[in-house]
Structure 1
Amino acid sequence: MKNRLLLVGLLLAWLISACNTVPPTPDPAQSPIADATRTAADGQPILQIDSGGHMAIIKNIFFTHDGKMLISASNDKTVRVWDITSGKTIRILRGQIGPGVEGKIYAAALSPDDRWLALGGWFIREDNSYIRLIDLLSGQVVRLLKGHRNVIQSLAFSADSRRLVSGSADTTARIWDVASGASLHTLNGHRNAIYAVAFSPDGRLTVTGSDDHSLKLWDSATGKQLADLHGHTDKVRSVAFTPDGRYLLSGSWDQTIRLWNSQTGAANKVLARQDATVDHLSIAPDGSKVLTGAGYGQKINNVFAIPSGERLASFSGHQNVVVATAISPDGKTAATGDGDSHEIYLWDIHTGTIQQHLIGRGELIWSIGFADDGRSITWGKTWSQESLLRKGEVEHSFQLKDAVGNFSLALGKLIGSTAQSDSRFLHAIGTAGAISVGTASGQRDATLQIKKNGRVLHTVTRDGTNGYFHQSITLTPDGRTVVSGSGNGNITAYDTASGRKLRDFIGHTGDVWAVAPSPDGRLLVSGSGDQTVRLWEIASGKLLLTIFHGNDGEWVAWTEDGFYTASAKGDAYVGYHINRGDGQAADYVGLDQIGRHFYRPDLVAKTVQGGHEREIAAELARIGSIDQLIANGLPPEVRVLNASGETSNERNFTLEVALKPMSGGIGTIRYFVNGAEIASATARSGEAPPGMRRSGVIKDDERYAAKPLTLPDGANEITVVACNQNDTICSREIKLTRSVHDPRNRQPSLHILAVGIANYRDRDLHLKFAGNDAKALSTRLQQQAQGLYRVVHTPVVLLDKDATAEKIEQAFDGIAKRIEPNDVFVLFMAGHGMAWQGDYHFIPWEALYENTETLVKASLSQEKLAALLKRIPTSKSLIILDSCSAGQLAADFAEGKQFAMLTRGGIGDKSAIDRLMRATGRYVLAATTEKQQALEGHDQHGVFTWALLEGLKGHASRPGSNDGSISLDELADYVREQVPKITQQKWGFEQIPMRLIQGDSFPITCKAGYEKPGCKP
């Protein structure tokens, strides 16, 4: 019976989706995607995207009684709590989920006292008919309400929040006691699923609306049926009482809203009609108007007067169905949720003027392509036409290989024009030689035709088990394979000669709107309604890479092993959902919380390249899998006790935090000022000041930590992060702001540490320009910075044999003793570097190459360099790293090469530098040097340093700039422009400098000729 009812529901949902330009995909009763996905046991991490908004249809939305927050429940298996003023998600509630449809929320209700949240849906495969009752304050599941025999489709609380009514696909409704969880009454009588339920304001009556086209009134106290209401000619999907209890309203798929006498059930009239199915109703607090949802038909939300039915306002901001509506407690604001981007609009209920837009950073992917040289993939987020091959122009690019052919992943430039898009990129292929593919209509269809010389050879038909329609297709360049994308994430490859299915590509969770092959036919790229771009190996169906690209420009790309690469903040968009059982809230760990271990651009690139499976497996075994990492336990919850936003005349400030140990205990606490890590400490059982526990400031299950800080003048952002006892998972960043206006404020001083090693102890490691570069850069800064700083301290310059690990550390200590938080610090390091186990290592003068292990042991590791930088208490820092790669040292020595340390820097070296840049928390400029560059250089300097020197002269000053200073951003932009230009001219390829911006840009020096105070000429 359950399966039959579900199938009926799916067919009905299909009828709606077939008529929408951008259809919501129905939930399949059976799907190869779900079957092929492993069941998520308790504690097993499940990768999820957190875009900042919903990623599937929004089923219900509610205002809290104070009107300050909005709560939304979605088919994406989450509940979001939004701050209306900021438009940001402030909390996410997660529960037990599984593959495919398991965990999707179909119904939700918020109790009038804001205490309880009830959820129903397809929760687990064995029993999907229970209700989760959640304590909204704690977010914990209080109890599971069991009794129904099929999925819950509708929920509503009584006005006193003491009872709950549920409607189910099992054709019954139940009334529950919230306090005990007991089922008080079962309401039998409907002949089809119940999608609408409500209590009367006084709680005496209960109404149910069904897909059998009828409504029924019930006595809430006894469960007895009082009236059978007929008049609708299609499914009843919403019911609501007016606040005075006088009227009952119902909305139906017959596109009408009916008005009934709530006491007798007598039909008053058809209140209003609209050109869309009525999927939801919300009545204003004063009972004067009703807001409608819009399903199949016009995507317009209407506001009608009660009881006249006059149309008072309308809203047409959504581009797809809207089944979630709400009206604010003051009756002034309407909220409507869904559309293509699964967004929520808040708008003036009288005028339709938009007041707020609640939406995530992700967008549907409509178009896909490959660069004609195969070095990058492309995608577009704008729909412009209905087509199986191309639904819009590509707009964004993502590099797979750099200019010299190394696999190196990074977001590319925006694509400028349609002409550019057409000429440079390969899209889906409809014809390859004599073979062509398509549908009879030329648009999405259940049947795909494979033709040869215009004659149909084979047809391939999809149905409800594999996505319903062929909605994106492509041939491989050789015409031997056709790939089809469809609903529910289905992608399938077929042999064109036989029409036989070859394989599924399993990974997407939303409709697949675009597919395209690489020029060599090895790879497939796909774009989906799940807001991701995915890269596959065509021959095996293996998922190589998944990309999420936010509309804020941040991005993250990850492999199935859990390794990832990302923009500076992109890893905040993805994490791991951890089930804790049906009766408990789930946990979540973001990629940004484990980035120390899994941020590995080198391994991501090698996955795409292929042929490195053993190396990747070995590294995964060394680090431990995501499952093993999370098994170490969750980090503590962190609360900052200081008030945010305060202003003080004092630089000295004590940061106070409360830490609640979770399953992983408490390990290292890390402190940041303006993005730079300036201290860390191992948690101790510190006792809070007297009275803190008595007053409840520190709770019984929390520990206290305090950190004295000295802040620079001006606005400051202070951040604290706490890790578990193994330091494998850290908390999300907790921030506060504090401004300092010190009347004793003095101009900053400049401190320079320059390290250059050309003549290593091991002669095989010799370089040519590193010493010259260090001397020239420190001299240039010292000469030109006089007009900008109170004091320019004599640079500490360590060359060749003076640049030992011990002396470099001593130099850091010497500067740390005199530098103040308001000062500026510049570190320049030129010499050999190498990547080892993903981390960067700078090789000091005394290092000897006996084997890789001894070289690593003698080096300054990423961890050591980051620790040295923490001794420098200023966030105004510039780190410049000009590194010659040692990545292929062993291989080159084995081949007898004299200049083994001067080999070309590959993705491993760049990845290691990237990890170092992130670890410092400072403004970093870096470059890896090629062999030929290191030998030849440019004008007696390394190319990177030459560009820095020219920029500092004044060439980096932007056109129209009226001051005499050079800022970090100006310098970085100039170097980024000049280095590729020079390397292209001299050696035939572009070297791209690396940069990571932490904090705000600031003036670093004066232009040449502007050395007077204030950078005056």
Structure 2
Amino acid sequence: RKRWVVWTPSGYYDASPGAEDLFGWHINGATDKEADFFPASRFRDTRYRPDLIARILQTGDEAEALRLADAERGSSEKVVAIAQALPPTVRITAPTGSVVVSETTLLLRYTVRATADAPAESIRVMIDGRPVATFAAASSAKEQSLTISIPERDCLVSIIASNRHAASVPDSVRVSWKGKAREPVARTAIAMKARPDLGQQVKPRLFLLAVGVSDYADKKLELKFAAKDAKDFAQTQLAQKDQVYSEVHLKLLPDAILNDIKDGLQWLEEQVTAGDVGMIFLAGHGVNDQANSYYFLPKDADLAKLKRSGLEFSTIKTTLSSLKGKALLFLDTCHSGNMTGGKKSLWDMTKMVNELGSDERGVVVFASSTGNQYSYEDERWNNGAFTKALVEGITGKADFMKKGRVTFTMLDLYVSERVKELTGEKQTPGTIKPALVADFLLALNL
């Protein structure tokens, strides 16, 4: 998959999903200190400006493009120099690189550096891209230590430090479990044994919240296939019981009101444990308000009162980021500029994808479109283009090598090309997998 970036002399940029870490700022320290590199993703909130980049192509002048972009936004923010907005840096001092273990605890030693006016505030420990511990950062710059519990398998342990500006680039150590590899086995099979074989790996449980809204209270918002999209996607996951997953727990909410969706999010948070997979599928309308905040529209949404009646992106983000197990989001939303009073939508789907898929969030994201593109549905497909491609891919068409399995990477490739084929290149899906998360199995088609 090709990725691209465009940036200005002042550091404003536009980028495709997952491309923000391909470039950034090299900051020199003292003469006896190593330099630091900060990827552009660390400055997303202030420097990611696709609206400005578009106007530079029209005006040829960065200052004029910034003025026009801010005027259309209706706001202007003072942007400080990069050197005054640096996140912390964190280094694992022991063990480094990789380590072989035979115990389920691991002692980590690490250091954190930050500027005097923005000290590190929190430390997050991740295993395979998912949070296992978060605590306040020490005020001292001296080496710190902590002991964590680790699973009886190979894994990647990472530490991320955050301050008031942003999260650090993670530092990681590869942990190799000493012992023979374990074969997957269902939880129920282990439960039936008087003395279970701990050398066998338990298949994960799946908890899926699937929401599709077609029948809106506001009839001008109605869609044809969003509710069906949610049902069809859910069926592909139910079929993976005893394949990829030992159990599949589904909360299907067709044409759901806001409170039911919030209850579903709470259900997901309460159920997903460290060995599970938590998944959200959303199909329907997504819009932004005048402050450029994104909302998913439930059945009872009132466009004039989005804060009260819409599902805010921050709520979705908080739920997925807090899940103890692997977290995935499938987002098939159709957002239209004329739904907010004729004002062209300024929301960029790419920003949301990149934010959720960042290392500190650890969420795997499939989005139906990028930028401010529309997401299309059509009676010829009996689905939205994105969901049709997902269902086809998961049920076998993404298995290019005919080995009876579909991974994230395989599904990403299939969906990206299939959606463009269906829509005549008018819709480009956006997918991102955090760097700390390895490729993983999504479906078995044996």
Given the two structures, how large is their TM-score scaled by the length of structure 2? 0.77
**1:915 equivalent in structure 2:** 354
* Equivalent in 940, 943, 947 of residue 389 of structure 2: 947
Aligned counterpart, 1:608: 57
Q: Which has the higher helix share?
A: 2
Report how far residue 944 of structure 1 moved: 1.2
Give the one of 428, 434, 441 matched to 1:992.
428
State whether residues 672 and 718 of structure 1, in contact with CA within 8 Å, keep that contact through their aligned partners in structure 2: yes
Distance (Å, rounded) in 2 between the aligned partners of 1:775 and 1:673? 32
**What secondary structure, in the 3-state scheme, does the structure 2 residue paired with 1:885 have?**
coil
| Residue 885 of structure 1: how far off its partner (Å) | 0.8
Q: Which residue of the other structure, out of 366, 391, 394, is the alignment partner of 1:925?
A: 366
Partner secondary structure for residue 969 of structure 1: helix
Q: Distance in 1 between matches of 2:172 and 2:293?
A: 28
Q: Distance in 2 between matches of 1:662 and 1:559?
A: 26
Structure 1 residue aligned with 2:246, among 784, 787, 791?
A: 791
Q: What are the superposed Cα offsets for residues 476-515 of structure 1, whole Å, 9 maximum, x if unpaired?
A: xxxxxxxxxxxxxxxxxxxxxxxxxxxxxxxxxxxxxxxx
Query: Is the CA contact (8 Å cut-off) linking 1:880 and 1:925 kept in structure 2?
Result: yes
Structure 1 residues 454-493: aligned runs within 5 Å: none
Q: Which residue of 2 aligns with 1:722?
A: 161
Cα shift at 1:605: 3.1
Aligned to 1:731: 168
Identify which of 800, 803, 816 aligns with 2:255. Answer: 800
Shift of 1:658: 3.7
Structure 1: give runs of 5+ residues left out of the alignment.
1-410, 413-553, 687-699, 895-902, 1011-1017
Cα pair distance change 1:649/1:589, threshold 3 Å: closer
2:442 is matched by which residue type in structure 1? I
Equivalent position of 2:11 in the other structure: 562
The answer for the alignment partner of 2:126 in structure 1 is 672
Q: 1:978 aligned to 2:418?
A: yes
Larger radius of gyration: 1
SS of residue in 1 equivalent to 2:256: helix
What does 1:691-840 correspond to in 2, within 5 Å? Answer: 701-702=141-142, 704=144, 706=146, 708=148, 711=151, 714-724=153-163, 727-740=164-177, 743=199, 745-783=201-239, 785-802=240-257, 804=258, 806-835=259-288, 840=294
CA distance in 2, matches of 1:824, 1:757: 24
* Corresponding residue SS for 1:951: helix
- More relative contact order, 1 or 2 (CA 8 Å, 6+ apart): 2
SS of the residue corresponding to residue 777 of structure 1 reads: helix
Separation in 2 of the partners of 1:956 and 1:884? Answer: 24
Report the Cα offset of residue 577 of structure 1. Answer: 4.1
Offset at residue 574 of structure 1 (A): 2.5
Which TM-score applies when normalising by structure 1? 0.36
How do residues 91-102 of structure 1 correspond to structure 2 at under 5 angstroms?
none
| Partner SS, residue 672 of structure 1 | strand
- Whether the 8 Å contact between 1:555 and 1:571 is mirrored in structure 2 is no
Displacement of 1:715 after TM fit? 2.8
Distance 1:932 1:745 in 2: 39
In the other structure, the counterpart of 2:328 is: 878
Matched residue SS, 1:562: coil
In the alignment, which residue of structure 2 is the partner of 1:328?
A: none
Paired amino acid for 2:165: T
Question: How big is the shift at 1:942?
Answer: 1.0
User: What residue in structure 2 maps to residue 1001 of structure 1?
Assistant: 439
Are 2:21 and 1:571 equivalent residues in the alignment? yes
Contact 1:710-1:821 within 8 A present in 2 as well: no
Flag the 1:922–1:585 CA change in 2: closer, same or farther, 3 A: closer
Q: Cα offset for 1:717? A: 2.0
Q: Structure 1 pair 667/883, CA: closer, same or farther in 2 (3 Å)? A: same
1:948 deviates by: 1.5
Q: 1:843 to 1:707 in 2, by over 3 A?
A: farther
Shift in CA distance, 576/828, structure 1 to aligned 2, threshold 3 Å: same
Matched to 1:563, the amino acid is Y
Q: Which whole-Å CA distance do the structure 1 matches of 2:158 and 2:11 have between them?
A: 27
Alignment RMSD = 3.8
Specify the code of the residue in structure 2 equivalent to 1:883: T
Aligned counterpart, 2:295: 841
Matched, 1:966 2:406: yes
- Work out the CA distance in 2 between the residues paired with 1:834 and 1:656: 45
> Secondary structure, in 3 states, of the residue corresponding to 1:639?
strand
Deviation at 1:773, TM superposition (A): 0.6
Change (3 A) 1:736 1:813: farther
Q: What SS does structure 2 have at the residue aligned with 1:957?
A: coil
How far is the alpha carbon of 1:940 from its aligned partner? 2.1
Mapped to 2, the partners of 1:1006 and 1:585 lie a distance apart of 47
| Residue 625 (str. 1) matches residue 65 (str. 2) | no
Bigger proportion of residues as strand: 1
Label 1:760 to 1:746 Cα distance change in 2 as closer, same or farther (>3 A). same
Distance apart, 1:744 and its partner CA: 5.0
Deviations 1:941-987 (A, max 9, x none): 111111222222322221x42x3222222222222222222222xxx
CA distance in 1, matches of 2:105, 2:145: 17
Matched residue SS, 1:794? strand
One-letter code aligned to 1:821:
A
Please tell me the residue identity of whatever aligns with 1:1005: A
Name the CA distance, whole Å, in 2 between partners of 1:680 and 1:603: 38
Structure 1 match to 2:46: 597
Change (3 A) 1:994 1:795: same
Equivalent residue for 1:223? Answer: none
Supply the AA of the counterpart residue of 1:833: G
CA distance in 1, matches of 2:396, 2:94: 43
In the other structure, the counterpart of 1:172 is none
Instruction: Find the aligned partners of 1:821 and 1:584 in 2 and give their Cα distance.
Output: 39
Check the 8 A contact 1:839/1:915 in 2, yes or no.
no
Residue 829 of structure 1 aligns with an amino acid whose one-letter code is L
AA of the residue aligned to 2:122: T
Alignment match, 2:95: 643
1:550 is matched with: none
In the other structure, the counterpart of 1:51 is none
Question: How many Å separate the matches in 2 of 1:870 and 1:720?
Answer: 16
* Code of the aligned partner of 1:614: R
Q: Which amino acid aligns with 2:421?
A: K
| Residue identity in the other structure for 1:607 | I
Which whole-Å deviations, capped at 9, do the CAs of 1:431-463 have from their partners, x for residues lacking one? xxxxxxxxxxxxxxxxxxxxxxxxxxxxxxxxx
- Which residue of structure 2 lines up, in the alignment, with residue 163 of structure 1? none
Paired residues of 1:572 and 1:592 also in contact (CA < 8 A): no
SS for the counterpart of 1:793 is strand
Give the partner amino acid of 1:598. R
Q: In structure 2, how many angstroms separate the alpha carbons of the residues matched to 1:709 and 1:844? A: 40
TM superposition shift of 1:738: 1.8
One-letter identity of the residue aligned with 2:433? I
Contact 1:719–1:735, Cα closer than 8 Å, also in 2: yes
Measured after TM superposition, the shift of residue 655 of structure 1 is 5.4
Provide, for residues 685-737 of structure 1, a one-character-per-residue CA deviation record: whole Å limited to 9, x for no partner.
58xxxxxxxxxxxxx643747485654x543222222222xx21443321112
Aligned amino acid, residue 229 of structure 2: D
What amino acid is the match of 2:321? K
Residue identity opposite 1:889 in structure 2: M
Q: Deviations over 1:537-586 (max 9, x none)?
A: xxxxxxxxxxxxxxxxx654212342223463553532154798x99998
Shift of 1:771: 0.8
* Residue of 313, 316, 332 corresponding to 1:865: 316
| Cα distance in 1 between the residues matched to 2:356 and 2:208 | 18
